[in-house]
Amino acid sequence: MFDPSKFTVAKARPIPLYLLLDTSGSMSDQGKIDELNKAVRTMLAEFEKEQQRETRIDVSVISFGHNGVQLELRNVAAADARASYRDLPADGLTPMGGALRMAKAMIEDKDETPSNAYRPTIVLVSDGEPNDEWEEAMEAFIGSGRSSKCDRMAMAIGASAQRAPLERFLQGTENAVFDASHAAGIHAFFKQVTMSISVRSRAANPNALPPAPPPELPDNGGSLFF
């Protein structure tokens, strides 16, 4: 008997990418938020070229700062993410714990992050110190459930960034906190994210993680974030 399901093309399996971006008031200093927006847009433009038949890159953006915690992009295919991304403003406090809770809820929900998805990559960026009760949210994120199995990357922007939460976020991974003291550092970090995701999207096993990148960009001048 003819069965049309045998001729259905399988859907590409997603590699979910979650960006947790600090948009607190201090990110407006020295143009940090402008450089962050530029770097994210450049990364999304590169992802447009990485659409494979067997895999796809799905992008979610969670901001924490302006208006509290906001879901800016929700599992948008990379081919559409750049057009959907809106430059983030910078004001308010730093509710990092709230961003971690939202990201974990999305990762644990199989309607948001399907069971056939490859290992998600979670990127945490901050230039200051969390002002909410972030410790419990952090422990839950890295210590239990599907979120504990994600690849995790983190960047500290400027000298005032508190490294302790970012280092805790990376515990159990081979990655180190990337220190960005210049505008060029923000772009260098997102190039590393781009390379990591792109390598996985072309790999025979996208769940295998590429080698950890170096944590810092050498001091090569530019506008200081102090």
226 residues of the chain, pLDDT tens digit each: 667 666 555 578 899 999 999 999 999 998 999 999 999 999 999 988 766 667 889 999 999 998 899 999 999 998 899 899 999 999 999 999 999 999 999 999 999 999 999 999 999 999 999 999 999 999 999 999 999 999 999 999 998 899 999 999 999 999 999 999 888 999 999 999 999 998 888 887 888 776 665 555 444 444 443 3
Class assignment of domain 12-202?
A: alpha beta
Sheet of 151-157: strand order equals: 68-77, 55-65, 13-23, 121-126, 151-157, 178-180
Annotate 105-135 with DSSP letters as a single string: HHHH-TTTS-TTPPPPEEEEEESS---S-HH
User: Which position has the token pair 């938020």?
Assistant: 33
Helix (H, G, I), strand (E, B) or coil at 199: helix
pTM recorded for the entire structure:
0.88
How far apart are the C-alpha atoms of 158 and 138, rounded to whole Å? 22
How far apart are the C-alpha atoms of 154 and 169, rounded to whole Å? 8
**What DSSP character marks residue 161?**
-
